[in-house]
């Protein structure tokens, strides 16, 4: 295969979007959620992986968490990977990393990225579905389950365990 043929082949491959997020908790087990100003629903701190910068999902989770809430949290273990189909966009692969348990001092240092976020809050597990829309609620629940069970990452499709 020539260089031109290879470039044409690569250009014709399906496109996939990718994002990474950090699951942060307080000592009571509540999950830190952020409220974006550009769409409905809440989210975990995180965002798009910058492929043009050769960024890995782990690097993106750390960078996005720092940008969005001002905390530099090295991601712990990968908890979940979710393949999410969409009707009007390419599929998204969502990575969720363990950000650990933060103390009151760390929460006091949160500084929101005002260009993208309206607020943040700590949400008990049983209320996650009230704030997170669609597969994201199931993804976070599955990540919490993996964390509590002490097992490796869970593979999801549209927020549900892959079969």
- Gap between the Cα atoms of 67 and 46, Å rounded: 9
Please check whether residue 107 lies inside any domain of the structure: yes
Residues 6+ apart with CB under 8 A from 1: 9
* pTM, 2 dp: 0.92
Q: Which H or E element spans position 152? A: none
pLDDT band at 87 (very low <50, low <70, confident <90, very high): confident
Indicate which CATH number applies to the domain containing 148: 3.90.79.10
Please check whether residue 19 lies inside any domain of the structure: yes
pLDDT of residue 52: 79
**Which of 88, 73, 91 lies closest to 32, judged by CA?**
73
Please check whether residue 85 lies inside any domain of the structure: yes
**Tokens representing 158?**
């549209």
- Gap between the Cα atoms of 37 and 75, Å rounded: 25
Please check whether residue 8 lies inside any domain of the structure: no
pLDDT of residue 144: 97
Please check whether residue 10 lies inside any domain of the structure: no
Tens-place pLDDT, residues 117-134? 999 999 999 999 999 999
Cβ atoms of 84 and 135 closer than 8 Å: yes
Mean pLDDT across 152-160: 94
- Gap between the Cα atoms of 108 and 55, Å rounded: 29
Q: What angle do CA 100, 115, 60 make, to 5 degrees?
A: 40
Please check whether residue 5 lies inside any domain of the structure: no
Please check whether residue 6 lies inside any domain of the structure: no
Tens-place pLDDT, residues 22-68? 999 999 999 999 999 999 999 999 999 998 778 999 999 999 999 99
Confidence check: pLDDT of 3 > 80: no
pLDDT of residue 25: 98
Could you count the other beta carbons within 10 Å of the beta carbon of residue 2? Answer: 7
Domains held by the chain: number? 1
At residue 111, the 3 state secondary structure works out as: coil
Residue 143: give the domain boundaries: 15-161
């Amino acid at each position: 295969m020539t260089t031109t043929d290879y470039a044409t082949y690569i250009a014709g491959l399906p496109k996939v979007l990718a994002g990474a997020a950090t699951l942060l908790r307080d000592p009571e087990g509540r999950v830190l959620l952020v409220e974006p100003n550009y769409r409905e629903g809440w989210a975990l701190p995180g965002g798009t992986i910058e492929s043009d910068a050769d960024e890995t999902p782990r690097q993106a989770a750390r960078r996005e968490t720092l940008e969005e809430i001002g905390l530099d949290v090295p991601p712990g273990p990968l908890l979940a990977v979710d393949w999410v189909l969409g009707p009007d966009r390419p599929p998204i692969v969502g990575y969720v990393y363990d950000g650990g348990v933060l103390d009151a001092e760390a929460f006091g240092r949160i500084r929101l990225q005002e260009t993208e976020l309206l607020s943040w809050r700590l949400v008990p597990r049983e209320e996650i579905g009230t704030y997170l829309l669609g597969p994201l609620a199931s993804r976070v629940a599955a990540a919490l389950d993996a964390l509590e069970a002490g097992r490796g990452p869970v593979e999801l499709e549209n927020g549900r365990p892959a079969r």
